[in-house]
Structure 1
Amino acid sequence: MFRRSWRRVSTATAALLAVTTLAACSDDPSDSQDLSGNRVGAMADYAAGTQFRATEPVSFSILYNNHPNYPLKNDWLFWSELKSRTNVTLEPVAVPLSDYEQKRSLLVGAGDAPYLIPKTYPGQEDTYVSSGAVLAVSDHLDLMPHLRDRISRWNLKPEIDTLRQEDGKFYLLPGLHEKPWHDYSLAVRTDVLDELGLAVPRTWDDLYTVLKAMKARYPDTYPFSDRWSKPNPGGNLLNLLAVSYGLQGAGWNFQHTSWNAETGTFEYTGATERYKQMLQYLNKLVTEGLLDPESFTQTDDQARQKLANGKSFVISANAQVVVNDYRPDLAQTNPAATIAKIPLPIGPAGEINPASRLENGMMISSKAREDKNFVAMMQFIDWLWYSDAGQEFAKWGVEGTTFVRDAAGKPTLAPDVNVIGLNPDAPKHLQKDFGFYNGVFAYGGKPELVQGFFSAEEQQFQQVMNARTPIAVPPPYPFSDAEREQASLWETPLRDHVTQASLQFILGQRDFGRWDAYLAELKGKNHDAYLEMVHKAHDRYRKANS
Structure 2
Amino acid sequence: MFRRSWRHTAAVATVALLALSSVTACGDDSSDAQDLSENRAGAMENYAAGTQFKATEPLSFSVLYNNHPNYPLKNDWLFWKELTARTNVTLDPVAVPLSDYNQKRSLLIGAGDAPLLIPKTYPPDVHAYVSSGAILPVSDYLDLMPNLKDKIEKWNLKPELDTLRQADGKFYLLPGVHEKPWHEYSLVVRTDILDELGLEIPKTWDELYTVLKAMKAKYPDVYPFSDRYSQPNPAGNLLNLLAVSHGLEGAGWNFQHVSWNAGAQKFEYTAATEHYRHILEYLNKLVAEKLLDPESFTQTDDLARQKLANSKSFVISGNAQALVNDYRPDLAATNPKAKITKIPLPVGPAGEINPASRLENGMMISSKARDSKNFVAMMQFVDWLWYSDEGQMFARWGVEGTTYVKDAAGKAGLAEDVDMIGLNPGAPKHLQKDFGFANGVFAYGGKPELVQAFFSAEEQEFQKVMNARTPKSPPPPYPLTDEEREQVSLWETPLKDHVYQATLQFALGQRDLAQWDAYVTELKSKNMDAYLDTVNKAYERYRDEHN
Task: Please give the range of the TM-score, normalised by the shorter of the 2 chains.
Answer: over 0.9
CA distance in 1 between counterparts of 2:313 and 2:97 reads: 33
Query: 1:129 is aligned with what amino acid?
Result: V
Q: Could you give the per-residue CA deviations for residues 262-305 of structure 1, whole angstroms, max 9, x where no partner exists?
A: 22222110101110110121122222222223323333333323
Does 2:181 correspond to 1:180? yes
Does 2:65 correspond to 1:56? no
The equivalences for 1:354-373 within 5 A come to: 354-373=355-374
* Alpha carbons 1:184, 1:317 under 8 Å: kept: yes
2:76 is aligned to 75
TM-score, length basis structure 2: 0.93
- Going from structure 1 to structure 2, the CA distance change for 1:111 and 1:298 (only over 3 Å counts) comes to farther
- Going from structure 1 to structure 2, the CA distance change for 1:39 and 1:305 (only over 3 Å counts) comes to farther
Does 2:154 correspond to 1:153? yes
Query: 1:91 is aligned with what amino acid?
Result: D
CA distance in 2 between counterparts of 1:202 and 1:270 reads: 25
1:507 is aligned to 508
Query: 1:318 is aligned with what amino acid?
Result: N
Deviation at 1:142, TM superposition (A): 1.4
Deviation at 1:21, TM superposition (A): 4.3
Where in structure 1 are there 5+ consecutive unaligned residues? 7-13
* Alpha carbons 1:5, 1:124 under 8 Å: kept: no
CA distance in 2 between counterparts of 1:313 and 1:62 reads: 47
2:388 is aligned to 387
SS of residue in 2 equivalent to 1:118: strand
The equivalences for 1:38-437 within 5 A come to: 38-437=39-438
Query: 2:159 is aligned with what amino acid?
Result: P
CA distance in 1 between counterparts of 2:216 and 2:64 reads: 49
Deviation at 1:107, TM superposition (A): 3.2
- Going from structure 1 to structure 2, the CA distance change for 1:274 and 1:20 (only over 3 Å counts) comes to closer
Query: 2:176 is aligned with what amino acid?
Result: G
- Going from structure 1 to structure 2, the CA distance change for 1:154 and 1:327 (only over 3 Å counts) comes to same
Query: 2:227 is aligned with what amino acid?
Result: D
CA distance in 2 between counterparts of 1:126 and 1:503 reads: 31
* Alpha carbons 2:246, 2:350 under 8 Å: kept: yes
- Going from structure 1 to structure 2, the CA distance change for 1:331 and 1:48 (only over 3 Å counts) comes to same
Query: 1:222 is aligned with what amino acid?
Result: Y
CA distance in 2 between counterparts of 1:241 and 1:25 reads: 35
1:541 is aligned to 542
CA distance in 2 between counterparts of 1:363 and 1:371 reads: 16
SS of residue in 2 equivalent to 1:99: helix
CA distance in 2 between counterparts of 1:103 and 1:289 reads: 47
Moved over 6 A (4+): none
CA distance in 2 between counterparts of 1:92 and 1:338 reads: 45
1:440 is aligned to 441
Deviation at 1:171, TM superposition (A): 0.4
Deviation at 1:309, TM superposition (A): 2.8
Query: 1:523 is aligned with what amino acid?
Result: K
Q: CA RMSD in A?
A: 2.2
SS of residue in 1 equivalent to 2:82: helix
The equivalences for 1:9-20 within 5 A come to: 17-20=18-21
CA distance in 2 between counterparts of 1:23 and 1:32 reads: 11
Where in structure 2 are there 5+ consecutive unaligned residues? 7-14
* Alpha carbons 1:190, 1:338 under 8 Å: kept: yes
Query: 2:123 is aligned with what amino acid?
Result: P
- Going from structure 1 to structure 2, the CA distance change for 1:230 and 1:99 (only over 3 Å counts) comes to farther
Deviation at 1:83, TM superposition (A): 1.8
CA distance in 2 between counterparts of 1:3 and 1:236 reads: 14
CA distance in 1 between counterparts of 2:526 and 2:502 reads: 13
- Going from structure 1 to structure 2, the CA distance change for 1:284 and 1:99 (only over 3 Å counts) comes to farther
* Alpha carbons 2:3, 2:182 under 8 Å: kept: no
2:37 is aligned to 36
Deviation at 1:193, TM superposition (A): 1.6
* Alpha carbons 1:226, 1:315 under 8 Å: kept: yes
Query: 2:460 is aligned with what amino acid?
Result: Q
Query: 2:195 is aligned with what amino acid?
Result: D
- Going from structure 1 to structure 2, the CA distance change for 1:231 and 1:24 (only over 3 Å counts) comes to same
Does 2:474 correspond to 1:482? no
Deviation at 1:392, TM superposition (A): 0.3
CA distance in 2 between counterparts of 1:225 and 1:68 reads: 32
CA distance in 1 between counterparts of 2:462 and 2:521 reads: 42
Deviation at 1:18, TM superposition (A): 4.0
Deviation at 1:313, TM superposition (A): 1.9
Which region of structure 1 is more displaced relative to structure 2, 520-529 or 457-466? 457-466
The size of the alignment, in residue pairs, is 539
Query: 1:502 is aligned with what amino acid?
Result: T
Q: Could you give the per-residue CA deviations for residues 502-536 of structure 1, whole angstroms, max 9, x where no partner exists?
A: 11212222221221121111111111111111121
Q: Could you give the per-residue CA deviations for residues 398-438 of structure 1, whole angstroms, max 9, x where no partner exists?
A: 10011111112121121222222322232322222222112
